[in-house]
């Protein structure tokens, strides 16, 4: 294969550290003397031939990606269907890559992105175009299989645990004459990794969170109300963490909104306020609820040092794997030991990752279904260690985040219509 160029794209919900992966990709390409492009708004940008010319960016701005949240090049939620159903899109992708001599394609995303990466590798092969496709892991949901953890999760886990700890101190201060129950809703459609990480906030009996509601455990209203009531009577207040994907005994989301997103995933409403209002109507306690939503995945000021390091490592490995001729693989994180905490990066085939969802192991959930076990704590604790604080502007007091020019390379093909979903 001729050396060619490399294209990097971001996909799905972004994280506090996805740009650290982007920074690693760019750094490694520069060291290996490979020309790199960034896709504007993920796979949509590739279809539209909107390729960001990274050679025109200031080096200082590119270096600042290492500590900048969000997705610097733009992400998307755009579902490519099967090769048969969406063949014109796949062929267009190959046309764009061919026009710009892209021989290495890195797609940074989660489950659906791994599937897209695998399909692009397959269509390139069927069309006789030499292309090495690497799926690079990212998702705050932590639900990719094979890898020990997903870059982005360690930071959202740290944010969640810290937020629960701090908010609970507030509630504890006021519970004598004010709020008795605080409910915080966190992300997690089918897997309760983020909700479970909230359990790190408490280390002793009766420490918050007092109740965690997982997607893996069917909601039992009577048992929940009994736990809340007993906790308030004993401790004075009760902190509840609920995953957005909480289901009832019939397997239906409690907060199902009745619509779906571009990937066919059910849109979820606010289970946090729903649970809080339920407590009010059944027990009469004054409550407050919070839905961090985007805050939990964009809080770069509270990023985990381990998470930032792992995000950079998978980006570096992704480029190295592509240049070494690997195709349809993902750089995954393998935990070598817990004490001391050690890890390494190794390749895994996308066929073992695409469209497979890793749930919270049953032995991570306490017997009563409302907390985490020692096994869960041993898994989570190393992932939130250390701080990777961004630099702050001395005048404004705000973080100094990267601002890119995002100039597009000259187009070589006719315009292409993409039906945004």
Catalytic residues: 141
Q: Which two tokens stand for residue 332?
A: 């995954």
Encode burial over 124-158: b for 16+ CB neighbours within 10 A, e otherwise: beeeeeebbbbbbbbbbbbbbbbbbbbbbbbbbbb
Closest to 143 in 3D by CA, of 379, 358, 314: 358
**Cα–Cα distance measured from residue 79 to residue 86, given in angstroms and rounded to the nearest whole number:** 10
**Cα–Cα distance measured from residue 161 to residue 194, given in angstroms and rounded to the nearest whole number:** 9
44 exposure class (CB count in 10 Å sphere: 0-12, 13-18, 19+): buried
**Which single residue is written with the structure tokens 């992966």?**
21
- The answer to whether 268 and 255 are in contact (CB under 8 A) is yes
Count how many Cα atoms sit within 13 Å of the Cα of residue 226 in the half-sphere of its side chain: 7
DSSP label at residue 387: B
Count of beta carbons in the 10 Å neighbourhood of residue 421: 12
Query: What is the full DSSP assignment across 149-192?
Result: S-TTHHHHHHHHHHHHHHHHHHHHHHTTTS--EEEEEE--SS--
**Which single residue is written with the structure tokens 């192991």?**
361
Q: How far is CA 354 from CA 76, 102, 137, 286, in A?
A: 18, 23, 11, 45
**Cα–Cα distance measured from residue 2 to residue 413, given in angstroms and rounded to the nearest whole number:** 22
**Cα–Cα distance measured from residue 20 to residue 359, given in angstroms and rounded to the nearest whole number:** 26
- The answer to whether 146 and 137 are in contact (CB under 8 A) is no
CA 342 remoteness from chain centre: 22
Q: Which SS3 state, helix, strand or coil, does residue 31 take?
A: helix
Q: How far is CA 60 from CA 17, 29, 166, 176, 233, in A?
A: 18, 16, 35, 52, 56
**Cα–Cα distance measured from residue 75 to residue 72, given in angstroms and rounded to the nearest whole number:** 8
């Amino acid at each position: 294969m001729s050396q060619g160029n490399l294209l990097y794209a971001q996909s799905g919900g972004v994280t506090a550290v996805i740009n650290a992966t982007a920074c690693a990709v760019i750094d490694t390409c520069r060291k290996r003397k490979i020309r790199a492009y960034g896709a504007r708004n993920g796979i949509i940008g590739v279809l539209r031939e909107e390729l960001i010319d990274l050679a025109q960016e200031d080096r200082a701005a590119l270096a600042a990606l290492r500590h900048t949240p969000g997705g610097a090049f733009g992400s998307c939620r755009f579902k490519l269907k099967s090769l048969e159903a969406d063949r014109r899109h796949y062929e267009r992708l190959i046309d764009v890559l061919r026009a710009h001599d892209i021989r290495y394609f890195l797609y940074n995303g989660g489950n659906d992105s791994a599937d897209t990466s695998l399909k692009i590798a397959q269509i390139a092969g069927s069309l006789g175009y030499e292309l090495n496709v690497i799926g690079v892991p990212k998702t705050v949901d932590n639900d990719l299989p094979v890898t020990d953890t997903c870059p982005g999760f360690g930071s959202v886990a740290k944010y969640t645990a810290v937020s629960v700890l701090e908010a609970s101190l507030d509630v504890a201060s006021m519970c004598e004459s004010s709020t008795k129950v605080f409910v915080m809703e966190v992300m997690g459609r089918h897997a309760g990794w983020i909700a479970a990480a909230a359990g790190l906030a408490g280390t002793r009996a009766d420490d918050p969170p007092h109740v965690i509601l997982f997607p893996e455990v069917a909601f039992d209203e009577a048992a929940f109300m009994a736990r809340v009531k007993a906790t308030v009577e004993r401790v004075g207040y009760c902190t509840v963490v609920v995953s957005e994907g909480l289901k009832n005994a019939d397997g239906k989301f409690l907060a199902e909104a009745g619509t779906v997103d571009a990937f066919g995933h059910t849109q979820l409403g606010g289970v946090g306020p729903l649970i809080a209002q339920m407590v009010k109507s059944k027990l009469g306690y004054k409550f407050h609820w919070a839905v961090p939503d985007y805050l939990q995945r964009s809080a770069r000021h509270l990023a985990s040092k381990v998470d930032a390091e792992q995000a950079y490592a998978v980006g570096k490995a992704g480029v190295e794997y592509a240049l070494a001729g690997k195709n349809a693989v993902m750089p995954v994180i393998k935990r070598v030991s817990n004490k001391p905490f050690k890890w390494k990066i190794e390749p895994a085939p996308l066929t073992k990752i695409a469209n497979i969802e890793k749930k919270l192991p049953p032995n991570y959930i306490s017997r009563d279904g409302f907390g985490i076990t020692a096994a869960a704590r041993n898994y989570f604790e190393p992932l939130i260690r250390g701080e990777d604080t961004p630099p702050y502007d001395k005048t404004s007091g705000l973080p100094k985040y990267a601002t890119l020019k995002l100039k597009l390379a000259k187009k070589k093909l006719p315009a292409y219509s993409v039906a945004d979903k």
